A and B are shown apart, each in its own frame.
Chain A
């Protein structure tokens, strides 16, 4: 019977993924000003919204999905700290900066294209679907800290919307905790795919590309620097142009890159000098552990709403956009500004990577293709212009 239950659960999961993809959970285009007005969210998505915001589903009773994906902060963490803490006592430190969930449903499934990794959910792409992505925080000890699916199912059965849940999935749904958990994840995924707040396309830049507003001189300068292959070259990984069918840009190509981001001492796990977060090849993802050339690579994030989703990078190493940009352009010209320096004055460049993986760091593309003593690709004034431009990517612009 347990085997049958698990098999049925897998079938339901697969069906849910198919349903999700068929109903827009893929990487379809967007419309400036949000999705075309249509019917309200489905009943399933409305149920998903309640689950998404339900703090009673965590061990602490105070943490929900929305805690780290706050609608008021473009669905990223409201806490301006590198990594959020969770667990029953909200005292178990995390490992990675919580990303924004805006436009998350437009992420392609993880795979390899021309030999390079692409897409997938989470910073290392290990989740193959929105459902799978939503599953992990419920069970992670440093997040909602449920012990098992049954733990979540029990909490769901006592939720204020339990009657609606049973009406939708059957009165006996809570008799099968795995199925109940899967159904809850399906509802969350539908919510993330259907709620216009997850893909509003209402930034100033969206309206600019639609020809409905103009950028200021500083914003245009910043945009030009952002696109210029010899200056910022940001658009190489964060495309800023509309797609072939006119859909607004997502500011990510969903590729992976190893930037050699400095180690963040504010993450307790980093107290252990043998601990390294290597992205694609572990420790949280295990299927690519032997792909040594991928060690240290993380998924290129969308820059939409980047001005309101600090801190930055997978380890939350930088608190401001200006710092993040300065790191990009001065990493190789002035490494002492970013990495630990020993008593002898030697700079430990790329200090968040084991020595054998330093070779994986991107040192060939602009603006990284420089050496100590070279001029950085951007001046401080140009960095200010790029920051000004990036602020136009925040949704909610009023015409």
Chain B
């Protein structure tokens, strides 16, 4: 963005200089009317050329802004991790991190504190149109056979700019689904923890391998279309509660020796043509059978719609997500006797409101409240009387708290979460995060 600004400024200066040179400098010798007319014509032609160039640069800048603006709705910031590094050519780094403290109100012995994630990212701009983006994440501090941590390559892709409004990615990248998946840094969302809907239903941080085309339009519409790896239903463990916590989270592959005989498709739209408003939707679908014995035509489809609105100091956000897995009966019959069968459908939605209470020198205090409802097993396909599991309960979560943003990239958070429908104690959470 900085480079584009310089280019526009240079062009304007050149235009002014030409104009001044043409009209203000005294002629070295008297010119004929014909010569003057010829000079005027040439000057007009140059002005026209400059106008065209100015318009092209202006469009390019708008397109860049549009790409950056799409992911930026949650806390009103204007860049994402990858575009921070875009300002400079060549090698660059970015990162974010999050430490969380969580205390169950009624079960204080279960209180925990952890480095939820420590992320370092690296980008390299090979030329003006080609760059590599990577992101390495450590969760829960220590990763070993005896520790709970994980080390993950969360993103690793090459991005190519084809023209002002068309881009392509190939590699391991985030799926453009929902509000958080592409914008999951702690300074981007309200609450110490990411909302449950975009964790249990949309398995944030959800990434797949493949290729993705992305385009923008003059009127503020961004589209994404891609062909990627998908889920692997043979990973489903009917003896584990994991599938009840997050159906898709339990069968995602994260491009770790991912089974790829069946590919999936993603299509997403996001409209930001109205200032302060973002509206979007996406659908992801693909066979999760992956050619494994006993699995056949198990198509996973996840669609969602979302919106944000920022009138003045208020911020509103809402999202609905719905998942479906086809042809589960045959597989579920082989899981009989176990506690966690594969649901046919699951869903969740939430509404969230926040307010910029104080804002001084770039520091900000923003209280928020959020209501979520989700069901990770809202329906099971019929097996036979007595064998079909009962549908899961609706789970309601009310979260209220605040974020204190300061130093243009650091956040302190506190919130209180009340759960209904799934049992468990209310939670008191504190967290800190940063992003650069």
Contact = CB atoms under 8 A, between A and B. Distances in A.
Residue among B238, B240, B331, B339 facing the most chain A CB atoms (10 A cut-off): B238
B334 A209 contact: yes
Nearest to B386: A224
A242 B384 contact: no
B60 interface: no
A241 interface: yes
A158 B4 CA distance: 100
A209 B240 contact: no
A44 to B, nearest CB: 34
B242 to A, nearest CB: 11
A225 interface: yes
Contacts, number: 55
Contacts of B78: none
Given A211-B330, A224-B386, A244 B240 contact: yes
Contacts of B331: 211
Given A217-B384, A224-B384, A242-B238, A210 B336 contact: no
Interface string B326-350: 0000110111111100000000000
A228 interface: yes
B237 interface: yes
B294 interface: yes
B237 A211 contact: no
Interface in A226-252: 227-228, 235, 239-244, 249
Given A210-B294, A244-B240, A228 B386 contact: yes
A249 B386 contact: no
Contacts of B336: 209, 223, 227, 240-241
Nearest to B337: A241
Q: How large, as a class, is the contact surface on chain A?
A: 20 to 34
B21 interface: no
B1 interface: no
B239 A223 contact: no
Contacts of A241: 238-239, 335-339
Nearest to B331: A211
A240 B239 CA distance: 11
A242 B338 CA distance: 7
Contact of B385 (A208, A211, A224, A244): A224
Contact of A244 (B237, B330, B334, B337): B237
Given A211-B294, A244-B239, A223 B334 contact: no
A243 B239 CA distance: 7
B334 A211 contact: yes
B387 interface: yes
Tell me the interface secondary structure of chain B in the complex.
loop
Contacts of B337: 227, 235, 239-242, 249
A208 B333 contact: yes
A224 B387 contact: yes
Interface string A174-216: 0000000000000000000000000000000000111100000
A221 B239 contact: no
Contacts of A223: 336, 386-387
A243 B336 CA distance: 11
A240 B339 CA distance: 11
Residue among B238, B334, B335, B337 facing the most chain A CB atoms (10 A cut-off): B337
Contacts of B240: 244
Contacts of A235: 337
A377 B41 CA distance: 101
Interface string A330-371: 000000000000000000000000000000000000000000
A228 B388 CA distance: 11
Contact of B386 (A210, A225, A243): A225
Nearest to A241: B337
A123 B257 CA distance: 46
B398 to A, nearest CB: 31
Contacts of B237: 244
Nearest to B238: A241
Contacts of B335: 241-242
A220 interface: yes
Contacts of A224: 384-387
A6 to B, nearest CB: 41
Residue among B237, B238, B339, B386 facing the most chain A CB atoms (10 A cut-off): B386
Given A241-B239, A244-B240, A221 B385 contact: yes
A210 B336 CA distance: 11
Contacts of A228: 386
A228 B384 CA distance: 13
A220 B239 contact: no
Contacts of B330: 211
B334 A242 contact: yes
Contacts of A220: 384-387
Interface in B209-258: 237-240
Interface in B371-397: 384-387
Contacts of B338: 241-242
A249 B239 CA distance: 12
A220 B332 CA distance: 13
A224 B294 CA distance: 22
A220 B334 CA distance: 13
B344 to A, nearest CB: 18
Contacts of A240: 336-337
7 contacts: A210-B334, A220-B385, A221-B384, A223-B386, A223-B387, A227-B386, A242-B338
Interface of B: 237-240, 294, 330-331, 333-339, 384-387
Given A208-B333, A210-B334, A211-B331, 19 more contacts: A208-B334, A209-B333, A209-B334, A209-B336, A210-B294, A221-B385, A221-B386, A223-B336, A224-B385, A224-B386, A225-B386, A227-B336, A235-B337, A241-B238, A241-B337, A241-B339, A242-B239, A242-B334, A244-B237
